[in-house]
Amino acid sequence: MFSGLVYIEEDILTHPGTLQILSKLANPQVVPIKHYKDVFNQAGSDWRLQKAAQKIILASRRSHFYYQGSDITPAFGFKHFYYNTLALNCVYDCDYCYLQGMFSSAHLVLFVNNDDFMEQTKVLLQQLQEPVYLALSYDTDLLAIEHWYPYCKEWIAFASEQTNLTIEIRTKSINIKALQPIKPADNIILAWTLSPQEVINLHEPKTPSAQSRIAAIKKAVEQGWRVRICFDPILHIPNAEMAYMKLVDELASQIQLTSIDSFSLGVFRMNQDFLKRMQHQRKDSALLFHVFEKTDDTVSYAKDIKKKLIDVVTNRITHHEKRAHIVIL
């Protein structure tokens, strides 16, 4: 649990969302600020030092209530793919997280005006009049912070009342209990990122174990949620083949793979400028110093490595379930 300084924009000191979050924190010491960027965008911040003493910043979003997905984001067959940023940064600390290259600060920004995000989404839906896929947990892990503010619950309730809106909540959290007693709906996808325990031990500090993620997925499936499993990023670690095969076998031993809506597979890939910044901060992570190949602005493994990693996971899934719906990114 966070304690200590909480920066809060002075306009929202008494906002209900602010009060709700403050009530969940132990001994918060409030520091009023004018705008979240005054703290978040400070030049010369040391990302790793900030991460070690991560603070919460409560803010109000005044514009940019959603963004259109880029070419390297999966659109899952939707013509209109959007994401929003209800929070910036994450309580976990994955070595490969692009947020380290994207933001100059590691502090966690939570936007308390969730209603405005939903209102603006309604406007977007009215304008488009066509199905929209909206990824919520994009620059963060929302389910992991659901105990501070019920973003997921509020969005599930909102999406249940919309036609033309499918939402995705991507997570590594096992906090499925936080969603009870909400009724699953067809336009809500819970997407779990799953990694071999070897990857979690080395590269995904603070995240739940593979076993506990599989247990959470199992519960979600039993409760009737649409679940996507994301093997993404697949990492080229020593003995990767064995590690990913074992992971898929474990998953298949616990869960009927036909009950999984889809599997999305992608190897490590990254905007090259983000990677440069990350390499500067994360000299401790060999993962980021692989000899990558560059295509346009994106770096990733060489083609043969990519193919090998994707084939291993694909073949192991289809070994257990030929009809599995696999999306390769």
Nearer to ligand SF4, 94 or 220 (CB): 94
CB of 168 to ligand SF4, least distance (A): 14
- The answer to the question of residue 234 lying near ligand SF4 (CB under 6 A) is no
Nearer to ligand SF4, 91 or 124 (CB): 91
Rounded alpha-carbon distances, angstroms, from residue 203 to 42, 77, 287: 27, 31, 8
- The answer to the question of residue 99 lying near ligand SF4 (CB under 6 A) is yes
CB of 140 to ligand SF4, least distance (A): 6
Nearer to ligand SF4, 141 or 168 (CB): 141
The correct pick among 6, 87, 88, 94 for binding ligand SF4 (CB under 6 A) is 94
- The answer to the question of residue 59 lying near ligand SF4 (CB under 6 A) is no
CB of 93 to ligand SF4, least distance (A): 6
- The answer to the question of residue 135 lying near ligand SF4 (CB under 6 A) is no
Nearer to ligand SF4, 93 or 261 (CB): 93
CB of 34 to ligand SF4, least distance (A): 27
Applying CB under 6 A, the site for ligand SF4 has a residue count of 9
Residue with tokens 């346009």: 296
- The answer to the question of residue 141 lying near ligand SF4 (CB under 6 A) is yes
Q: Choose the stretch contacting ligand SF4; rule: CB under 6 A; options: 39-47, 93-101, 180-188, 251-259.
A: 93-101
| Number of Cβ atoms within 10 Å of the Cβ of 183 | 12
Residues of span 156-215 touching ligand SF4 by CB under 6 A: 172
Residues of span 62-91 touching ligand SF4 by CB under 6 A: 90
Nearer to ligand SF4, 18 or 208 (CB): 208
Q: Which residues are CB-neighbours of 188 under 8 A, at least 6 positions away?
A: 156, 159, 160, 166, 167, 169, 225, 226
CB of 182 to ligand SF4, least distance (A): 22
Nearer to ligand SF4, 94 or 310 (CB): 94
The three-point CA angle 298-281-87 to 5° equals 75
Nearer to ligand SF4, 166 or 207 (CB): 207
CB of 7 to ligand SF4, least distance (A): 20
CB of 13 to ligand SF4, least distance (A): 28
Name the site residues for ligand SF4 (rule: CB under 6 A).
90, 92-94, 97, 99, 140-141, 172
